[in-house]
Every structure is written in C-alpha cells, then in structure tokens.
Structure 1
Amino acid sequence: VGAGSVLVASVPPHSTVVGIPGKVVKTETRHTPAGKAIIDLNSADLPDPVQRALTSALEQVERLEKRVNELSARQGGLEEELKKSRSE
C-alpha cells in the first residue's frame, strides 16, 4: 500500500495499491513463502566493487612489473653487446 493511499475494498495478496481511492497497480505473480525474501540481500554475498577495482589494479601492476623486467633484461643485454662492440 502506497503512502497516503486510502483502501476502500480488500486488496489481493502480493499486490501494490496506490491512490485515493486505492487502486491495484501491480500484482506479484511469483509468490514467496513467508519469511523468505525474493532477493537475498545479504551483503556478505554481494559483489564488492572496491575489491573488484583493487584486484583489477593489482593485476595491471603485475603486468606492468613483468613488462618492466622484460625491458630491463633486454636493455642489459643490449648494454653488454655495446660494451663488446666498443672493445673490439
């Protein structure tokens, strides 16, 4: 029942009523047993957007560290080649 609605007759189960006089605007076709929610909103089971963002950022940092290490190794090899070519 919507705020400020005035019911002048019985309301069918699982219905949404609004207005003066109250009119059914929606009827729930899916019945849920008493005490059981249609959607479980237990926050422990909901995805954590902050955790997802941090995980994504950490994965990106790991990829960048790997690439830096690869480039550093390549540069070290090139420096050795340069030293050899200069000494010849």
Structure 2
Amino acid sequence: MSLTTVSRLLAKFSLSFYVAKIKPKLTEKHKLESLNFARMNLKQPIEYWRTFQYTGEYRSKCYANRASRVLRTPKDEWNPKYFLEVQNMDCFRA
C-alpha cells in the first residue's frame, strides 16, 4: 500500500495529523499561591529578585522538540480530553 493510498483513506474518514495540544497545569490554587508569594515579597530590594531564574512551562524544554503527531478528526483537535500534560512553572534561586 502506498503512502498516497494511506493519505487518501485517512482523508476519506476525516482524519488528519495534528501536533498534540498541551494542557497547562496552572490551577486556581497555583494562581493564589503565586499572588500570595508576590504580596509577601513586595518590599524586597531589586538585588533580591536578580538572584532568581524564572522558567516558563512552555519554554523550558531540555531536549529537542517533543511535539508528537497524532491522528484526530478536525472537531477533536481542540478537545481538552486529548491534551497532553506539562510540568509546572518553576523558579530557581541562584
């Protein structure tokens, strides 16, 4: 069976390859904890904050692109049931 035949059959059943979407783990609890942390440390000097290194959950991939391609129908592409989990945001003190 050729690649063209397989592609044609997938299209016939409305299946396409999509990059799996990522579901952030930021919950209301995390937002509240972050807000409380900011309030507690509001009066810290600038030098205190320069010792931190912040990493975002989407930007801190240690390895190459880990995007996995999955077969989905167009209506399932953004269905939250199929989202992948990611790590939380981290903050490291130097």
Fold in common (TM above 0.5): no
Give the structure-2-normalised TM-score.
0.23
Pick the structure with greater CA Rg: 1
Q: Which has the higher strand share?
A: 2
Higher relative contact order (CA 8 A, sep 6+): 2
